Amino acid sequence: MASGAYVATPLGRARASALEGKTVIVVGAGVSGLGAARSLANQGATVIVVEGRDRLGGRLYTDWSLGAPFEDGAGWVHGPSDDNPAKRLTDAVGAEYVVTDNDNLVVFGPDGYELDEDRQSEVDDTWYDLIERIDENLELSDTRSLIDAIRYFDSSAAADPGVLWAFSAYTEFSKGGPIENLSAVYFNRDGVFPGDDVVVTTGYDKLLGPLSEGLDIRLSTKVTGITYGGDGVTVTTDKGPVTGDFVICSVPLGVLKKNVIAFDPPLPASYQKSIDKVGFGSVTKLALKFEEPFWDTDVQYFGMMTEPKGRWNYWLNYRTFCDENILLGLSVGAHSPVVDQMTDEEMKADGLAVLRNVWEDDVGEPIAMRATHWYVDPLSYGAYAFPTPGSYPSDYDGLAQPVENRLVLCGEHTIFEYAGTIHGAYLSGLRAAEMVIEEAE
């Protein structure tokens, strides 16, 4: 498929002439940055993409070292309907999918024994019921955390290890932040596309090919400063300055929070306030590959009620979609930053301890592993944005407004409706490209 198929709006003469002779610098070659770059290049701009890593994709990267796709970052196409732009991007590269079934789940209690069906239903129903009560009863101006709201509506549920497990394994995973620091009123107000989630068995990051084809992309080039104003923009990098007419900055919220890039002039106070307010958590993935399976290979997910909350509490069984004996564990919430700071060996031991609580001596030594450390990754400093108590959707989308007619931010953290997703990142990139065109016209 021609790259032009990705352009959100038709190429009009006025737009082409607005961009003619203009140079746009895009900082970051993740899905949002590449989406913006592709769109602008297709509409006639000269585009230079500057990327700190030695590869494309940012938080979208498929590793094949285990013999099956291990997605360091995004793993699922959420809501893979035809309206979902991420699905359109993967379809365009001939991706193959497997639907994952959230109900194909077995949960083990703190003692390592499987929950019976009644207890499992009780846990799920209480989790669901609490979310409904919070949604129906709290005003959007409420600044409570999710855990405070749970305590308010059902104090016994807040002390139930099963219910806490469900809020961690389901909610902390999907939102990327701990329930102690998630907004009770905004944690589930984002938009979704219909359809059961799928994994891409041919590798999610293949979608980067058409997005990046033919672009001037400068890898292994870290940006330390962005100067913007009347005359244009200068992007300072460790390989020297790059100048242009406009700059789109797609670095993750974690990077903005750490002030890695010096903006001159500084970002407006309202932007800085939103950068501080919106949360940026972590999610850790640990894949352990074994010679032989010791688990029921027909079960797609295993839940583990672990201590502390968030510790390897949800595992995906690769045998449900490929021949490799791989279990992929997730640490989420407040525990993810803890394990992200471990060495791979320490992380492996921590994950194995959780598996041995259930399968005891049947758990052999893994023959291979892969682990992620997003929290300490200096080009991300976390996994994805989440709403903290007292933050608002406008804190996300306000960040996407052009500054001084020269600078536009994009990335999953700038689009509340689809934050924390590939489709959100992509749409934010297309929107940034549109804003540059408007400024150029």
Ligand X SMILES: Cc1cc2nc3c(=O)[nH]c(=O)nc-3n(C[C@H](O)[C@H](O)[C@H](O)COP(=O)(O)OP(=O)(O)OC[C@H]3O[C@@H](n4cnc5c(N)ncnc54)[C@H](O)[C@@H]3O)c2cc1C
- Contact residue for ligand X among 41, 48, 60, 150 (CB under 6 A): 60
Asked if 332 and 173 touch (Cβ cutoff 8 Å), the reply is: yes
Dist. CA 167–CA 172, nearest whole Å: 6
Residue 222 found at the interface with ligand X (CB under 6 A): yes
Q: What are phi and psi of 126, to 5 degrees?
A: -65, -40
CA distances from 293 to 172, 243, 365, 436 (A): 28, 55, 11, 53
Dihedral (Cα; 5, 426, 246, 19), 10-degree rounding: 20
Which residues in 420-439 contact ligand X (CB under 6 A)? Answer: 420-422, 424-425
**32 labelled ligand-binding:** yes
Going by the DSSP 8-state scheme, the letter that residue 172 receives in this structure is: I
- Contact residue for ligand X among 76, 167, 187, 271 (CB under 6 A): 76
Which residues in 276-295 contact ligand X (CB under 6 A)? Answer: 283, 285
Residue 58 found at the interface with ligand X (CB under 6 A): yes
- Contact residue for ligand X among 228, 374, 375, 416 (CB under 6 A): 374
Going by the DSSP 8-state scheme, the letter that residue 421 receives in this structure is: S
Dist. CA 27–CA 50, nearest whole Å: 5
Dist. CA 43–CA 394, nearest whole Å: 29
Residue 127 found at the interface with ligand X (CB under 6 A): no
Residue 95 found at the interface with ligand X (CB under 6 A): no
* Residue burial 230-239, b: 16+ Cβ < 10 Å; e: rest: eebbbbbbee
| Stretch of 13-21, 26-34, 90-98, 305-313 contacting ligand X, by CB under 6 A | 26-34
Which residues in 237-256 contact ligand X (CB under 6 A)? Answer: 250-252, 255
- Contact residue for ligand X among 15, 23, 25, 33 (CB under 6 A): 33
| Stretch of 38-46, 185-193, 305-313, 380-388 contacting ligand X, by CB under 6 A | 380-388
| Stretch of 18-26, 53-61, 297-305, 358-366 contacting ligand X, by CB under 6 A | 53-61
- Contact residue for ligand X among 26, 41, 50, 207 (CB under 6 A): 50
Question: What is the CB neighbour count within 10 angstroms for residue 219?
Answer: 13
Asked if 354 and 347 touch (Cβ cutoff 8 Å), the reply is: no
Residue 30 found at the interface with ligand X (CB under 6 A): yes
Please list the residues that pair with 331 across neighbouring strands.
Answer: 284
Each residue 396-415 as x (binds ligand X by CB under 6 A) or -, in order, gives ---------------xx---
Contact set with ligand X (CB under 6 A):
27-33, 50-53, 58-60, 73-76, 78, 222-223, 250-252, 255, 260-261, 283, 285, 374, 379-380, 383-384, 411-412, 420-422, 424-425
- Binding site: residue ranges? 32, 223
